Chain A
Amino acid sequence: MKHTLSVLVENRPGVLARVASLLARRGFNIHSLAVGPTSEPGMSRMTIVVDAPELEQVKKQLHKLVNVVRITELDPANSLEREIMLVRVAAPAGKRGEVLEIASIFKATAVDVGPSSMCFQISGTPAKINDFLDLVRPYGIVDLVKSGRIAMAREQKTKPGRLRAVN
């Protein structure tokens, strides 16, 4: 079972190693991990996708790290999850039209074209990226690189009850 954790950490040397080492030591498998600075000075945000039957222990153990400030588990239904992918698809001259057509449906951008292949950049939900990948796979994938997943909670939706009251 994959869970997405949004972890606010102090931006100190070694903090990534601490988080990764702790997850490894406690036997949790990291599916992906993305990290970057936030709007708060001195703070970084890690989006960690872990493979674990339950998250309580992961969260509690992470909390014990002195440089970890806040941990939020993101519910996929109430959060925005994004990945970015660069994928080089085998596309000789005769196939380019078909491949470009698929790409345009997915709003994937051709960022490099060579004699035998085209490279696309695509961003979006993990599901969208996987769907695109499934469709271009038959042409032959020459190379592929994916960012880790980044995610953010959606703003709390207005409760239906309150909405009715306003109406």
Chain B
Amino acid sequence: MSTITGAQALITALEHEGVDVVFGVPGGAILPAYDPLHESPIRHILARHEQGAGHMAEGYAWATGRVGVAMATSGPGATNLVTPLADALMDSVPLVAITGQVPTSSVGNDAFQEAYTTGITMPATKHNYFVTDVDEIAQVVREAFHIASTGRPGPVLIDLPKNVLNATTTWRDPGAVSLAGYKPTVEGHPRRVKEAVELITEAQRPVLYVGGGIIKANAAAELRRFAEVTNVPVTTTLMGRGAFPDDHRLALGMPGMHGTYTAITALQKADLLIAIGVRFDDRVTGKVETFAPHAKVIHVDVDPAEIGKVRTPDVPIVGDARRVLGQLLEAWAGRETPDRQPWLDTIAAWKRDFPLRYDQRPDGPIKPQFVIEELYRLTGGDATLVAGVGQHQMWASQFWRFSDPRRWINSGGLGTMGFAIPAAIGAKVGRPDDLVYAIDGDGSFQMTFQELITAADEGIPIKVAVFNNQSYGMVTQWQKLFYGGRLSASVLGDGVDYVKVAEGLGCVGFRAETPDEVAPTLEKSLAVDDRPVVVELVVDPDEMVFPMVPAGASNDEVILGPDDLGRSS
């Protein structure tokens, strides 16, 4: 058997896991790993900051459903990865991060570029490894991919000291993974499934409340069938947009703080929530004590710790969303589809009376919602949307009509500004034939726009719409609503020429300043296919995101629009 280095074992192990791309930034301690990577069929994409590499790996994972891989060196390389790791943990994104570490003889001595990576990332990962034995590398990589991609997916970090990467070993395939303390439950308990079906049969006003778990489990088709045979309307959370088509007659749109009136109110009036792959997040429930007060709850989740964490369910089902939906469909088979007409009529009336709205005047400033609708019209909705964090994210989620899973990518749980550009790069790498459009705010853009260099340099033609309202829009919205209009540290000004920035970084730049320029400018952006494009949209800085349920308020107190302010305060 031939002798190889730890670094070669690492790259071979990645190849065996089917990795086709690694996003990373090299540096001292990880250098040994970069040498065999150079010869490997694995593509390396050189990010300009490790945070970018991490979000690229996330975008790749979101778009493809496969494990994203990020690589960084020790010390600052590793600490720069902490934000994407925390983001991936919150949003259950399968990620494997590989970091270099100072040689084991220097560990603990405050060596150059030393950081206690496994300690720092312990609460930001699903699991992590500090490898001290070169013979364990193959096994650890196999375990890391298994843990990252099964059960509730999440990030796993492998910290590799330089001397371990340089040490020699012989390659041995580690075989199947068996971990005494890690055996996710995927199959729902049959008795619980039967109980769930009984509750659904009895319910008069049921709602399917579904989220990222449907997308992670690739359960959209099963969800649709189940909603149709049971005739239950569906609300998709921010993480679950695309899990159910927005154009479907049973679709309610997004629930929560900036959800549709119909979705929020349907949950409030429901007598049964069928919650699948959701975690009753505070952005959805508002004040927990008054959330869905009349509803019994069936809660399906692959993570047992989510069940009963916020709301005690009447029927808890631990399992993979797709498997459990399959079981539910089987248990339902033979039953008649209820017509639920009074409930569906009530919902139809809410949809009619309280639609999402905005007012685009032909001679007024560009309304951001109008841009989303125009982009939808021009692309026919055939695109993957990747959002940053803030107002633009909410508008994108509200006004785009999602029809497929994995074509809406955003940072939900952690709310990481700067997510859009690197995540869009990762998504485009994962699905090169798809049109990938990042929707960004100027504040979010300014946090990670250096990754446009990566996009230009690596030939990854993403498109980025920058909604420029010259401020941290969501911060100013809260300041206007809850802090007496004092715009403390939230105005960014008009000092940036985004077209020049784009051009200076090797991208194409366009700008639209009036409503009539929006469609032609977006069309120009769609016509470019050889380089990344940045479109600056100078939007109304006074526009706010509505509907809105203020933080901590009850979901019975939906503020529908600016004219509605003060009504419920």
Contact = CB atoms under 8 A, between A and B. Distances in A.
Contacts of B181: 9-10, 65-69
Nearest to B156: A66
Contacts of B123: 21-22, 25
B527 interface: no
A66 B119 contact: no
A69 B180 contact: yes
Contacts of B309: 57, 60
A25 B305 CA distance: 15
B182 interface: yes
Interface string A36-64: 00000000000000000000110011011
B104 to A, nearest CB: 12
A63 B118 contact: no
Nearest to B143: A66
B303 A10 contact: no
B305 A63 contact: yes
A162 B380 CA distance: 74
B122 A18 contact: yes
Nearest to B304: A60
A66 B305 contact: no
**Which of the four size classes fits the interface of chain B?**
10 to 19
Contact of A64 (B180, B303, B308): B303
Contacts of A22: 123
Given A17-B119, A60-B304, A66 B130 contact: no
A60 B305 contact: yes
B305 A13 contact: no
Given A10-B181, A66-B147, A21 B122 contact: yes
B101 to A, nearest CB: 14
A57 B180 contact: no
A10 B118 CA distance: 17
A61 B179 contact: no
A25 B125 CA distance: 13
Contacts of B130: 13-14
B296 interface: no
Interface string B106-140: 00000000000011001100110010000000000
B305 A61 contact: yes
Contacts of B308: 56-57
Contacts of A64: 126, 303, 305
A63 B304 contact: yes
A83 B450 CA distance: 59
B118 A14 contact: yes
Interface string B267-284: 000000000000000000
Nearest to B307: A60
A11 to B, nearest CB: 11
B127 A66 contact: yes
A15 B289 CA distance: 37
Contacts of A65: 127, 181
B541 to A, nearest CB: 38
A17 B120 CA distance: 11
A61 B126 CA distance: 11
B305 A17 contact: no
B525 to A, nearest CB: 43
Contacts of A61: 305
Contacts of A68: 181
Contacts of B182: 66
A112 B429 CA distance: 72
Interface-centre pick from A21, A22, A25, A60 (highest chain B CB count, 10 A): A60
A95 B451 CA distance: 78
Contacts of A10: 180-181
Interface-centre pick from A21, A22, A56, A61 (highest chain B CB count, 10 A): A56
B453 to A, nearest CB: 36
Contacts of B122: 14, 17-18, 21
A61 B308 CA distance: 12
A9 B179 CA distance: 12
A22 to B, nearest CB: 8
Nearest to B122: A21
B179 A66 contact: yes
A7 B514 CA distance: 64
Interface string B364-384: 000000000000000000000
A147 to B, nearest CB: 26
Interface string A1-43: 0000000011001100110011001000000000000000000
Interface-centre pick from B119, B122, B127, B181 (highest chain A CB count, 10 A): B181
Contacts of B126: 64, 66
A63 B127 CA distance: 12
Nearest to A61: B305
B200 to A, nearest CB: 26
A137 to B, nearest CB: 40
A10 B181 CA distance: 8
A57 B147 contact: no
Contact of A57 (B127, B179, B303, B305): B305
A58 to B, nearest CB: 10
Interface string A107-142: 000000000000000000000000000000000000
Contacts of B305: 57, 60-61, 63-64
A122 B335 CA distance: 68
A18 B126 CA distance: 11
A19 to B, nearest CB: 11
Nearest to A62: B305
A66 to B, nearest CB: 4
A66 B127 CA distance: 7
A132 B314 CA distance: 48
A67 B123 CA distance: 14
A25 B308 CA distance: 18
A14 B304 CA distance: 24
Nearest to A68: B181
Nearest to B119: A17
8 contacts: A14-B119, A17-B122, A21-B122, A56-B308, A57-B308, A57-B309, A65-B127, A69-B180
Given A56-B308, A57-B305, 18 more contacts: A10-B180, A10-B181, A14-B118, A14-B119, A14-B130, A17-B122, A18-B122, A21-B123, A57-B308, A60-B304, A61-B305, A63-B305, A65-B127, A66-B181, A66-B182, A67-B181, A68-B181, A69-B180
